[in-house]
Amino acid sequence: MWQSLKVSSVGSTFGHRLWWVDSFTGPSARGNPAVVVLLERPMLDHELQQIAFELGVSETAFVRRVGEQWSLRWFTPTVEVDLCGHATLATLHVLLSELGVPSGEFYFQTRSGVLSGRPLRDGLLGIDLPRSYLEPLDESFLQGSIVGVREVYQAGPRGILCVVDDYDELCGLQVDLMTLFLVPATIVTVVCEGGPRVDAAIRVFAPRLGLAEDPVTGSAMCAVSPWWMERTGSPTMSVHQASARGGVMYARLFERNVEVAGHARTFFGGDLRA
């Protein structure tokens, strides 16, 4: 038909490829969605932010091949973040399962330094994230934004770890997000010992990142794993995130990092026309 319109040729320009991936899935756990965008060319920061806003998931990961490594950036719908565990796990899943990159050790250049990842046994994927060091804080630091907390810790420069008594207390938390927004922390993790078939359970709130409550948060393990080690002496643990979607994570603590492991699955893939 285009010949009859005297069009000399038909060209198709496809944009960047993308995949919607659910990270840290498990039995009765849907995991946390992340969209992984494979960049064919560099893009401006405001373009990346606009794409993340349009996609609307908690994190969009932009990955691009740089020599033998990969450049990796993470955006919420409103801001770029320094570290994101579930979107890194999603990126590793895409490289292995969707793009067929030979398995082995993967290295990602990020705002938090070079992170690594690898396939593990039984379909698990593992990523190395920088561990946090905990410093006790007075409960008044929370300004009454979370009711029922009995311990509070500074967890790295931008994180807070709170401890509650048990799983029922965790699930029934009363959180004032407006007041929590005023607390000088980007990620607030609440943890308890025990949970459904796991060692511990968590919930994570990040109003300063535009996320009232995050479905599953791999970077929370940077603080939760050292807390578990101090509490039990064990460097390994399993964690359930008690969000509406639910998630399952496994962690192993090392001197400088935490290996966070979980399963991931692709929900759909396509092309980004941007």
Which residues face 187 on adjacent strands?
159
Q: Which two tokens stand for residue 124?
A: 């698990």
Residue 15 confidence (pLDDT): 57
- Nearest one of 217, 273, 244 to 74, comparing CA atoms: 217
- Residues ≥6 apart with Cβ < 8 Å to 231: 193
Residue 7 confidence (pLDDT): 34
Q: Are 274 and 55 in contact (CB under 8 A)?
A: no
* SS3 readout for 30-56: CCEEEEEEECCCCCCHHHHHHHHHHHC
Q: What's the average pLDDT block by block, 10 residues per block, for the chain (274 residues)?
A: 37 68 95 96 94 95 93 95 96 96 94 96 96 95 94 95 97 96 96 96 94 95 98 98 97 97 97 80
- Nearest one of 84, 90, 154 to 112, comparing CA atoms: 84
- Nearest one of 196, 130, 188, 197 to 164, comparing CA atoms: 188
Q: Residue type for 89, please?
A: L
Residue 273 confidence (pLDDT): 79
Which residues face 269 on adjacent strands?
19
Q: Are 223 and 156 in contact (CB under 8 A)?
A: yes
> For this structure, is 139 an active site residue?
no
Q: Residue type for 9, please?
A: S
Q: Kindly report, residue by residue over 177-192, the tens digit of the pLDDT.
A: 999 999 999 999 999 9
d(CA 131, CA 108): 17
Q: Residue type for 108, please?
A: F
Q: Residue type for 16, please?
A: H
Task: List the catalytic residue out of 40, 47, 59, 68.
Answer: 59
| Other Cβ atoms closer than 10 A to 114 | 11
| Domains in the chain: ranges and CATH | 16-128+261-272 (3.10.310.10), 134-259 (3.10.310.10)
Which conformational region is residue 140 in: left (phi greater than 0), alpha (psi within -120 to 50 degrees), or beta?
alpha
pTM: 0.91
- Burial call 66-103: b when 16+ CB within 10 Å, e when fewer: eeeebebbbbbbeebbebbbbbbbbbbbbbbbeeeeee
Residue 1 confidence (pLDDT): 36
Residue 210 confidence (pLDDT): 86
Q: Residue type for 74, please?
A: W
User: How distant, in Å, are the alpha carbons of 114, 224, 245 from that of 248?
Assistant: 25, 14, 11
